[in-house]
Structures are given as C-alpha cells and as structure tokens.
C-alpha cells in the first residue's frame, strides 16, 4: 500500500518543524518545502526575520528528519497578490490583513498547486488549528476548528479557506499547546526548538511600515482633528423602526466627521499611512489620555482622533458585510435572505469571542453584537465566527 504524500510548508520555525516530525511518525511520505517570498532590505528589519537563516534552519530540520527538501521562489506571486494589495488597501483608507490573504492566496493556492504537481495528497502547515469531517446529506463537510491552545489558536487567519482547500489541508499541531510543541522539538534535537516566533508580515517578518508604504504612497501633509465624546453623532436618539433591517442599517451607519466637529491638534504626512484604532505615530502631545485614530478621510487627507481607548468613536454594535465580501467556509450553513443565525464572533485576532447574531439581507449580511465592540486595527470587517450549536 502506497504511503500518502504530504508536502509540509517548512518555514524555519518550530511549529512547522514539529508538524513535519509528527507526520513522518504517522507514516506519511513527507517532503519539506520552503517558500521564499518578497523581500526588501530597505524596509525589512532584517535581523528580526532573515529569510536566508530561516531557509537554512528549514533545510537542517529536513536533514535531521531525513526528509527531502526544496526551496520555491514565490516572490513574484507574493508581490502581486499580497504586497500590491496592501498598498491598495492603505491608499483606499482600509486596513489590510495580509496574513489572512497569504493563507488563501499563497499557502493554500500557489503553494498548494506546486505541492499537488509534486504528487502530494495533502499540504500541511504549522498552524494552531484543527479540522474535522462530518457527513451531511451524503456529502463530506470539512469543519475548520480552533486549536487546542487558546492562546495560540490561528483559525482566525484561515477564515477565507474553501472546502476544496480544507480537504487537502492537514494541521498536525492543532491538538498541541506551544509548550508541548517546543518539548517535542527539544526531544528530537531540532535546531528550531528554542527559536523565537517570527512576527510581522506573513513570511516576510517585521517591516518598517512608514518606509514600506512610502515606496508607493507619497507623503502629503494634512491635519489631525480631535473629536470630543460630546460629538452629536454619538448621542442621536433612535427613531422608530418599521423593520429589523432598518434598525440594523441605522446602527451600522458610519459616523461622518468634519473638521468643524472638533479641533485641529496637529499635522500628519498622509492619512493613507494610518488606520482606525492606531495610537502610535500621531506625535501629538498635551492630551490627558493618548489619542487614537477613530477614522481617516483619504480623499480630504484628514485624520480624526479621540482621547483614550474608551472613546465612543472606537465602538460599534452593528457591522455590515457586502455580498461580494462574504465568504462561507461552511457553505452548507450559508444563510438565505431573511434568515438569521446566533454565533460567537470576533473582529480581531485574539479578541474574546462575543455573542452576535447574523442577519442576511438582499445586499449582504448584518452582524449585530450583544455588546458594543471596540474596532481597533481593523477598518474593514473580518469576522471569525464560531457556531453556537
């Protein structure tokens, strides 16, 4: 009987190293593949995540485990699908999530295609998440589940995978905690056992964001406006609603600010360099509490801010997702117009799951949270949803 072949994305870190070890122990025919992605020394903090060192570590792990090893250069695809996307999103005043896109477009698309060409039955990564298979109406449904380690759970970053991608994916360390993974690596004398986790952009590392953005987005001086909590828009009385949809639309409505609603407290070099929830980089002093970005107007080149992380401009109870931005990992759970569903949801990685209700309407999907949610870091909505059943 032929062994099932698995191509492991060896990143040079401890998680993917242990994933490869576990798969070999389980009897798979394992091949290690290192992805070289876009790299620019002018904006990368090189000693934080040097790809050459990572590639070498991945090769040493493969050698130690006795598995074949290759390096693939995905620089062009990464530049086109991830880096260019980041520039476009910032230019349009939205906050990109490159890690989510990297998983959908690179690891489980370009990389997966290469793996399948090499005869792989599965692609494996060192993500802290799990999958399960259930039978429904005679069909196999693949569930994306949280990792056992609640502190490291990365299912959020895989929220845009399809059933086809999940069917070919394996997550060998999803049942383990980080300390358990390091313990296994140490027991097997893997060079990555004590290696620090990489941070920053997916497969690039820490990037000096201002320099990165200035490659494409030119500086342009504008004003920073502070909006007080007394702003009229925060204290509008609720009208009588003739339907649930009109109520949801009212609470999902974006606050509209103008310079006259607050006071000018400083200047900036480009609204497109900033994102909602950002605190650092404003360089405005003299306030009782730190200023947070509550909105950016890239057309007028204005940054609107509020004092403190309890500012009204940072909180919303209802969010809206257009149809063209909706993605259902579980297509069998997709709502039809007029239907609703109780879920637990988050809009940021590691944010506590909150009770929420989904309402499907003709043009998209409303998400109504039980509690107002602080919208730090993500100006465009990305939901991680856990079914309550």
> What is the pLDDT, as a whole number, of residue 26?
96
pLDDT band at 207, cuts 50/70/90? low
Give 269-303 pLDDT, tens digit per residue: 888 888 888 888 898 988 999 999 999 998 999 99
DSSP string of 183-230, one letter each residue: HHHHHTT-TTTTPPPP-SBTTTB-B-HHHHHHTTS----EEEEEPPTT
Residue 368 DSSP SS3: strand
Q: pLDDT higher for 108 or 16?
A: 16
Instruction: Please state, for a pLDDT cut of 90, what percent of the chain lies above it.
Output: 58
> What is the pLDDT, as a whole number, of residue 381?
41
> What is the pLDDT, as a whole number, of residue 387?
43
Least confident of 31-35, 142-146, 185-189, 206-210: 206-210
pLDDT of residue 91 exceeding 90, the answer is no
- Of these residues, 49, 129, 159, 202, which one is catalytic? 202
Residue pair 329/389 in contact (Cβ under 8 Å)? The answer is no
- Using CB atoms within 10 Å of the CB of residue 158, give its burial: 0 to 12 exposed, 13 to 18 middle, 19+ buried: buried
Contacts made by residues 369-373, CB under 8 angstroms, sequence distance 24+: 369/316, 369/317, 369/318, 369/319, 369/345, 371/317, 372/315, 372/316, 372/317, 373/315, 373/316, 373/317, 373/347
Give 138-194 pLDDT, tens digit per residue: 999 999 999 999 999 999 889 889 999 999 999 999 999 999 999 999 999 999 999
- Overall average pLDDT of the 39-55 stretch: 60
Give 325-374 pLDDT, tens digit per residue: 899 999 999 999 999 999 999 887 878 889 999 999 999 999 999 886 65
- Overall average pLDDT of the 83-111 stretch: 80
> What is the pLDDT, as a whole number, of residue 78?
82
pLDDT band at 236, cuts 50/70/90? confident
pLDDT of residue 49 exceeding 60, the answer is no
pLDDT of residue 47 exceeding 80, the answer is no
Q: Extract the tokens encoding 123.
A: 């692609």
Cα distances (Å, whole numbers) of residue 173 to 16, 23, 50, 147, 188 = 8, 10, 24, 8, 15
Give 121-136 pLDDT, tens digit per residue: 999 999 999 999 999 9
CA distance 205 to 345: 28
CA distance 76 to 82: 10
> What is the pLDDT, as a whole number, of residue 30?
97
pTM of the shown model: 0.84
For the sheet containing 169-170, what is the strand order?
Answer: 69-73, 29-36, 5-9, 122-124, 169-170
Cα distances (Å, whole numbers) of residue 264 to 2, 219, 279, 297, 327 = 70, 19, 17, 14, 40
232: region left, alpha or beta (phi > 0 left; psi from -120 to 50 alpha): alpha
159 is catalytic: no
Domain ranges of the chain: 5-213, 219-387
Measured in whole angstroms, the distance separating CA 187 from the mean position of its chain's CA atoms is: 32
CA distance 143 to 157: 15
- Using CB atoms within 10 Å of the CB of residue 357, give its burial: 0 to 12 exposed, 13 to 18 middle, 19+ buried: middle
- Overall average pLDDT of the 18-25 stretch: 98
pLDDT of residue 388 exceeding 50, the answer is no
- Of these residues, 49, 102, 129, 312, which one is catalytic? 102
Instruction: Please state, for a pLDDT cut of 70, what percent of the chain lies above it.
Output: 87
pLDDT of residue 247 exceeding 60, the answer is yes
Q: At what angle do helices 178-187 and 14-25 cross, to 10 degrees?
A: 70
> What is the pLDDT, as a whole number, of residue 214?
64
Q: What is the mean pLDDT of the chain?
A: 86
CA distance 19 to 30: 10
102 is catalytic: yes
> What is the pLDDT, as a whole number, of residue 107?
86
Q: Are strands 263-268 and 139-146 parallel, antiparallel or unpaired?
A: unpaired
pLDDT of residue 380 exceeding 50, the answer is no
pLDDT of residue 98 exceeding 80, the answer is no
> What is the pLDDT, as a whole number, of residue 360?
98
pLDDT of residue 40 exceeding 80, the answer is no
Q: pLDDT higher for 158 or 100?
A: 158
Reduced DSSP (H G I as helix, E B as strand, rest coil) percent helix, strand, coil of the chain, to 5: 30, 25, 40
pLDDT band at 209, cuts 50/70/90? low
Q: pLDDT higher for 365 or 76?
A: 365
Cα distances (Å, whole numbers) of residue 293 to 16, 86, 227 = 36, 19, 10
CA distance 270 to 173: 42
> What is the pLDDT, as a whole number, of residue 50?
62
Cα distances (Å, whole numbers) of residue 54 to 61, 75, 177, 219 = 11, 16, 22, 34
* CATH architecture of residue range(s) 5-213: 3-Layer(aba) Sandwich (3.40)
Buried b (16+ CB within 10 A) or exposed e, 116-132: eeeebbbbbbbbbbbbe
pLDDT band at 268, cuts 50/70/90? very high
> What is the pLDDT, as a whole number, of residue 272?
85
Q: Could you tell me which residues are beta bridge partners of residue 303?
A: 224, 296
Residue pair 94/119 in contact (Cβ under 8 Å)? The answer is no
Residue pair 276/343 in contact (Cβ under 8 Å)? The answer is no
Residue pair 160/327 in contact (Cβ under 8 Å)? The answer is yes
Query: DSSP label at 370?
Result: E
CA distance 351 to 353: 6
């Amino acid at each position: 009987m032929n062994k099932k072949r698995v191509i492991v994305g060896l990143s040079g870190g401890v998680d993917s190293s242990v994933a490869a070890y576990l798969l070999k122990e389980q009897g798979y025919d394992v091949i290690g593949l290192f992805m070289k992605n876009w790299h620019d020394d002018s904006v990368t903090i090189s000693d934080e995540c040097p790809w050459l060192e990572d590639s070498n570590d991945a090769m040493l792990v493969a050698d130690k485990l006795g598995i074949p090893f290759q390096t693939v250069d995905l620089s062009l695809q990464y530049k086109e699908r991830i880096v260019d996307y980041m520039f476009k999103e910032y230019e349009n005043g939205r906050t990109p999530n490159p890690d989510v896109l990297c998983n959908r477009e690179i690891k489980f698309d370009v990389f997966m295609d290469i793996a399948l060409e090499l005869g792989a039955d599965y692609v494996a990564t060192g993500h802290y998440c799990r999958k399960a298979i259930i039978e429904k109406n005679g069909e196999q449904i693949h569930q994306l589940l949280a990792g056992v380690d609640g502190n490291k759970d990365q299912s959020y970053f895989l929220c845009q995978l399809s059933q086809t991608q999940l069917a070919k994916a394996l997550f060998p360390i999803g049942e383990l905690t980080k300390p358990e993974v390091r313990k296994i690596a140490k027991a097997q004398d893997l060079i990555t056992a004590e290696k620090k986790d990489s941070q920053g952009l997916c497969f690039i590392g820490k990037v000096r964001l201002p320099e990165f953005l200035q490659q494409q987005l030119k500086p342009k001086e504008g004003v920073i406006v502070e909006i007080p909590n007394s702003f009229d828009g925060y204290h509008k009385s609720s009208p009588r609603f003739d339907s649930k949809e009109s109520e949801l639309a009212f609470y999902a409505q974006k606050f509209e600010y103008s310079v006259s609603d607050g006071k000018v407290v400083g200047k900036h070099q480009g609204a497109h360099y900033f994102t909602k929830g950002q605190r650092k980089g404003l360089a405005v002093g003299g306030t009782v509490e730190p200023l947070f970005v509550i909105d950016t107007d890239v057309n007028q080149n204005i940054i609107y801010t509020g004092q403190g992380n309890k500012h009204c401009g940072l909180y919303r109870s209802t969010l809206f997702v257009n149809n063209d931005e909706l993605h259902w990992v579980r297509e069998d759970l997709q709502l039809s117009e007029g239907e609703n569903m109780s879920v637990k949801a988050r809009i940021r990685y590691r944010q506590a799951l909150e009770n929420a209700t989904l309402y499907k309407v003709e043009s998209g999907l409303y998400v109504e949270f039980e509690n107002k949610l602080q919208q730090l870091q993500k100006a465009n909505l990305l939901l991680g949803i856990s079914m309550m059943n």
